[in-house]
Homo-oligomer: A and B are copies of this chain.
Amino acid sequence: MDRSKPKLSRIAETLGVSVATVSNALSGKGRVSPELVERIRATAAELGYVPSVAGRALRTGRSGVLGLVLPDIANPLFPQIAQAIEHAAASAGYGVLIADSRGETAMQTEAIGRLIERGVDGMVVVPRRGTRIVEASCPVAVIDSPSTPGNTVAADHWEGGRQMGGHLRELGHRNVLLIGHSPASNVQNDRIGGLKSGLGRGAVTETLWIEKLEAAGGAGCPLGLVEKVRSGVTAVATLSDLIALRALTELQGAGIAVPQAVSVSGFDDLIWSSVVTPGLTTMRMDMETVAEIAVAALVDTIEAERRGGEEQKILGPVSAAVPKVPMELVIRHSTGVAGMGLSQARNRTEGELAS
């Protein structure tokens, strides 16, 4: 009664055949008679055989692990991405090793290095804004923005912005405040562009960048939304749900009713978007699909590399066939028809209190 983990040789001697035959049978590669394959399969299952990743990795040179590099794990979008990538990778038979660059650009390179040392077969990278991925000695799938050179796959942020813009336009909003985090982000620029396009030429927009605001006013400083509303803004279209939340509470805290006085919209459909009051109108990206495409592209490249050998060394980002994944407009209660104005909104607030 040997308790140690069964290996190929155990199966082999149990059946009185060679390890090579067992290996062939299990992988379906060589020539093994059907009935022997069946017997080998059976005893393998019976013995609870699990192939050693290390042994296989050493021989084949591939580890069956993908790396996941994100600009900042603390990002609230991370759970969605990680979950989707992990799922897609697991379906393809790969594990996922995480690497955190803790928000620092310099550490991204180091994090990538650690992954490579660990022998990942490929990696999916959500690059820090503006960072170029160069020194990867393995296939890389980049998830950023369709307008980023070298991008592999991404949601169609521009089109998402256009949809949201259209939604606001239909509600009658002509004076819209746009709030993003940083203009250095391709994703945010795409969204802004789409937003403006969707709002149409009749609309007047102003753009606020949190990064600049906080450089002056400190982290978490007020956005000064009350004055903006007073000066005629009827909708605040933000480039992320975190900013939307910030705007929503700042407005509500000042007694301004959302959406009666001002509409607020976000992006990404983060965890809290559905439970706050009013529920946030936002754009959801299909991370499942994005992740599937990214992982598929990676796996394809890895397979090709394995077969092709040294002939075609594909370094740098791999590119997929369908780079743009559509986004979905999620209409909740933070957006409404424009034009009620501030005074009416104040009445409503009082009314609710009095009711």
Chain A residues within CB distance 8 Å of chain B: 50, 52-55, 57-58, 61, 63-65, 68, 73-76, 78-80, 82-83, 86-87, 90, 95-100, 102, 114-115, 117-119, 219-220, 222, 242, 245-246, 248-250, 252-258, 271-272, 274-279, 346, 349-350, 352-353
Q: Is the CB of A277 within 8 A of B253?
A: yes
Q: Cβ of A119: which chain B residues have Cβ within 8 Å of it?
A: 52-54
Specify which of B57, B78, B219, B253 is in contact with A274 (CB 8 Å cutoff). B219
The CA-CA distance from A97 to B74 in the complex, in Å, is 17
Q: Which residue of B lies closest to A256 (CB)?
A: B353
Report the minimal beta-carbon distance from A341 to chain B, rounded to whole angstroms. Answer: 13
Note all chain B residues with C-beta closer than 8 A to A78: 78-79, 82
Q: Are B99 and A97 in contact (CB under 8 A)?
A: no
Q: How far is the CB of A110 from chain B (nearest CB, A)?
A: 10
Cβ-closest 10 pairs across A and B: A252-B252, A54-B57, A253-B277, A54-B58, A249-B276, A73-B83, A255-B349, A250-B277, A249-B277, A255-B353
Contacts of A249 in B (CB 8 A): 248-249, 252, 276-278
Q: Beyond A78-B82, A249-B277: 4 further Cβ-contacts under 8 Å?
A: A53-B57, A74-B83, A255-B255, A256-B353
Cβ-defined contact, B258 with A246, below 8 A: no
How many Å lie between the Cα of A254 and that of B255 in the bound state?
9
Chain B nearest CB from A334 CB (Å) reads 10
